[in-house]
Structure 1
Amino acid sequence: MSVMIHKPAEREAKRLAANREELSERIGQAISFDGTYQPLQGLHLSRSSTPFKQHHSVLEPSLCVTVQGSKEVLFGESRYQYDPMHYLLITVEMPDIAQVLEASKERPYLGLRLELDPTLVSAVMLEASYTLPPGTAHMRAIDVSLFDVHLLDAIVRLARLLDTPDEAPILQPLITREIMYRLLKGGQGGRLRHLAIQDGYTSHISQAVARLRQNFDQPLRVETLAHELGMSISAFHHHFKAVTTLSPLQFQKQLRLQEARRLMLSEDLDAQVAAYRVGYQDASHFNREYKGLFGAPPMRDVQRLREVRHGFGERTRR
């Protein structure tokens, strides 16, 4: 009996190992340079030959996979580390701080990110007659889980489309539906409710996130937002942080500072103009908060980023 129990587990472990090896080979061939690349609609690949310092961005709802190496993502005070054995799922658009922990020229970090379509998630939930597991009403919008063999199978089949892009328009939607189904059946199923049309506090917080994203440069009036969502101020604060790991004010601040950084880099604005564009009225206040998030004053930080970008461009041309 013991031998019979161990054999399926052994076969599954071998399938997982083979899938990880194939996925690493296919992604490594698809992106041969350091940076990011979107070969198929909603599918993003990334590569880095060295561990890199913290990178700030706004991460949309996604399934995130480390194909080779390891990566850490920070949301508020919470840290999430994932590697080829684990995947990360995020179901509400949030500002994040990411850092590649393991990478080298011989074994570069390789990553894959698949955008999550709320309409598709809702449709799959309906077709599968999916019922929410208990205790998911206030589930945090991000977590890391261990891969199961069926989910990784589907992701490998998605990666195979990189070699046959002419088949992608037909097969990619089918494989993506299966990936959503496998996520729903796995440990992250309750978390996907954040993307589906549901009653309860989670949908309210998703609405609040969308409004903050659209109007981040406007003064934040928490009482007005809470009232519009039919919640008390204390309940709104509690549920917002439970889902996003950040308070509404912290969420808005990170959005503002990241947009200011983008404006200075891409539009060559000085710090004072960028600060005003994202809603800051006090330049010294902006400088303090910018340094607190990015570790350096605005213009010094932007100059460093330009030098890094220039160096990357030189390496790419070679």
Structure 2
Amino acid sequence: MSHDALGRQIARYADTDGIIDTTIPRLTLVRWSHADEPVHMLQRPALCIIAHGAKRVMLGDSVVAYGPASYLVASLDLPITGMVTQASDDAPYLCFCLYLDPVLLSDIAIALPPAAPSAEGSALSLHPVTPELLDAATRLTALLGDPGGAPLLAPIIERELLVRLMTGPSGGIVRAIAAGESRTGQIARAIGWLKAHFREPFNGPGLADLAGMSVSSFHEHFRRATAMTPLQYQKQLRLQAARTLMLADRLDAAEAGFRVGYDSPSQFSREYRRLFGAPPVRDMGRLRAMPQVALAI
């Protein structure tokens, strides 16, 4: 199979711009016709394969740029900024995204031979696309046109994709998602707490204890995985949540900031502008004038 074959299948079921949830569990398709428009989101653990176009992903102070030659694996929930860098109305950006299920990965890991130990670094990594991955991704996407066969066949192809990830160059990072006591698993526990309690102040030593690490080790591994500190991670969660509240519920900036944990409206506006490039009122006006961007938030 080729990138063109995958692109034809994505285009068939993603006929408008946006992030499209499909009827196949954990499979999402992305279509984008406009380049250079940043989209801020919380990226779940996933496999992403670009069929057409190119993209830049910003995580903290790190930047990952990729296109059809590579696939991206995210191993943690990450507040990212994604920007499509190559797309047009005639040749839109098309991407296959499969969210990674830790339970399914754990089940597969039991049946695989042990892997050699590998260092766990950034929670975003790029790896060369193989024909086998492209073929499986294309066949899984094509099942969207087979509602009778998809419930039986999609789980088989999903397992095939995961086996190829776990036995290929991305094996170390993908296996770490399944291993609760890996560094990735430990950081994931801390991130889970931050996601559930982002409105609350947090205690650094308590978060490190939850992860099962010393304070210094926790901060080192958290920053290595996410390219930010726990406090910076919490701020991104707060600001993205506030942006959603203003857009979806039409709250004003002061109320949205208060609901996500800010006591000072001026501090909220400063940090909002620093992340999104404009103060809240101007940003909301821009988003409401660009519905394809708003739908991706």
Q: Distance in 2 between matches of 1:69 and 1:229?
A: 38
The residue type equivalent to 2:60 in the other structure is: G
In structure 2, the residue matched to 1:56 is 40
In structure 1, the residue matched to 2:107 is 123
Q: Distance in 1 between matches of 2:84 and 2:92?
A: 10
Instruction: From 126, 129, 132, give the equivalent of 1:147.
Output: 129
| Pairwise CA distance, 1:187 | 0.6
CA contact (8 A) 1:194 1:206 kept: no
| Residue 279 of structure 2 corresponds to residue 301 of structure 1 | no
Alignment of 1:86-165 (within 5 A): 86-129=70-113, 131-136=114-119, 138-165=120-147
| Residue 153 of structure 2 corresponds to residue 171 of structure 1 | yes
| Residue 257 of structure 2 corresponds to residue 237 of structure 1 | no
Q: Distance in 1 between matches of 2:294 and 2:270?
A: 29
Query: In the TM superposition, what whole-angstrom CA distance separates every residue of 1:242-263 from its partner, at most 9, and x where no partner exists?
Result: 1222110110000000000000
Task: Please give the TM-score of this superposition, normalised by the length of structure 2.
Answer: 0.94
The residue type equivalent to 2:115 in the other structure is: L
Instruction: From 249, 252, 269, give the equivalent of 1:267.
Output: 249
Query: In the TM superposition, what whole-angstrom CA distance separates every residue of 1:222-265 from its partner, at most 9, and x where no partner exists?
Result: 12211333322211110111122211011000000000000000
CA contact (8 A) 1:35 1:48 kept: yes
CA contact (8 A) 2:57 2:82 kept: yes
Which range moved further: 117-126 or 221-230?
221-230
The residue type equivalent to 1:100 in the other structure is: V
| Residue 8 of structure 2 corresponds to residue 25 of structure 1 | yes
In structure 2, the residue matched to 1:7 is none
| Pairwise CA distance, 1:220 | 2.0
CA contact (8 A) 1:92 1:194 kept: no
Task: Please give the TM-score of this superposition, normalised by the length of structure 1.
Answer: 0.88
Which range moved further: 103-112 or 194-203?
194-203
Alignment of 1:214-253 (within 5 A): 214-253=196-235
Runs of 5+ in structure 2 lacking a partner?
none
Q: 1:229 to 1:28 in 2, by over 3 A?
A: closer
| Pairwise CA distance, 1:73 | 0.7
Q: Distance in 2 between matches of 1:29 and 1:43?
A: 15
Superposed CA RMSD in Å reads: 1.7
| Pairwise CA distance, 1:291 | 0.3
3-state SS of paired residue (1:64) = strand
Paired-residue identity, % = 39
Query: In the TM superposition, what whole-angstrom CA distance separates every residue of 1:122-155 from its partner, at most 9, and x where no partner exists?
Result: 11111123x233333x332110111112222211
Ranked by relative contact order (alpha carbons within 8 Å, sequence separation 6 or more), the top structure is: 2
Q: Distance in 2 between matches of 1:312 and 1:281?
A: 26
Q: Distance in 1 between matches of 2:205 and 2:141?
A: 46
